[in-house]
Amino acid sequence: MTDPELLSLREAIDEIDAKLLELLAERVRVVLAVGEYKRKRGVAVYDPSRERRIFAALGELAEPPLDADTVRRIFERIIDESRAIEQRFVTSD
């Protein structure tokens, strides 16, 4: 495609994706710190009540064209992957 408007829109998406990736990396760093905290104190990695609160709070923040269900599915994936990373990188002594 050589349409300048389309190229500009795609460049904007690419910039947003790069920012999202930076934020996800930052989130994972904090997840790992939380995982280390939990490991040292013998706390379970998975906290279903916290996840329910997160999903509810983020669902309320959803603005069109996003809706609560879409936001929930996105964050379910982010949290699932974060948990998997936490389990891989946070090891016992």
Number of separate domains in the chain = 1
Task: Convert the pLDDT of each residue in 29-80 to its tens digit.
Answer: 999 999 999 999 999 888 899 999 999 999 999 999 999 999 999 999 999 9
Tokens of 51: 């996840």
Instruction: State the pLDDT at residue 93.
Output: 53
- What CATH number is associated with residue 64? 1.20.59.10
CB proximity list for 82: less than 8 A, separation 6 or greater: 27, 28, 31
What's the pTM value of the predicted model, to 2 decimals? Answer: 0.86
Tokens of 85: 């990373």
Instruction: State the pLDDT at residue 53.
Output: 97
Q: Which domain holds residue 71?
A: 4-89
